[in-house]
């Protein structure tokens, strides 16, 4: 199966077109991948921030969910 290079996705990173949409028109609730794209950091860095308890989040089973305002509050803490 051949896929063009620009549509290639990784399980560790969102596709560039989807990440651009999240940055310009973010959803109200986000997963770790979406939250990392919104903040412009890696999912691993966002998980480190979660472990340091620097951002509010909810766990639904093994999934981690953020509200957009919690990520915005993280940006203003700096």
In the chain, domain spans = 12-77
Q: Is the pTM of this model over 0.95?
A: no
pLDDT in the model for residue 69: 95
pLDDT in the model for residue 24: 83
Rounded mean pLDDT for each run of 10 residues along the chain, 78 residues in total? 56 80 87 93 95 94 94 84
Task: Pinpoint the alpha helices (H) of 1-78.
Answer: 16-24, 32-39, 43-51, 68-77
User: Domain 12-77 is of which CATH architecture?
Assistant: Orthogonal Bundle (1.10)
CA distance linking residue 2 with residue 21, whole number of Å: 25
């Amino acid at each position: 199966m051949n896929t063009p290079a620009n549509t290639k996705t990784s399980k560790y990173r969102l596709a560039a077109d989807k990440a651009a949409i999240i940055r310009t028109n973010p959803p109200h609730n986000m997963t770790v991948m979406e939250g990392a794209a919104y903040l412009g950091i890696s999912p691993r860095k966002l998980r480190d921030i979660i472990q340091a308890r620097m951002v509010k989040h909810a766990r639904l089973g093994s999934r981690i969910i953020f509200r957009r305002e919690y990520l915005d509050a993280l940006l203003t803490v700096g």
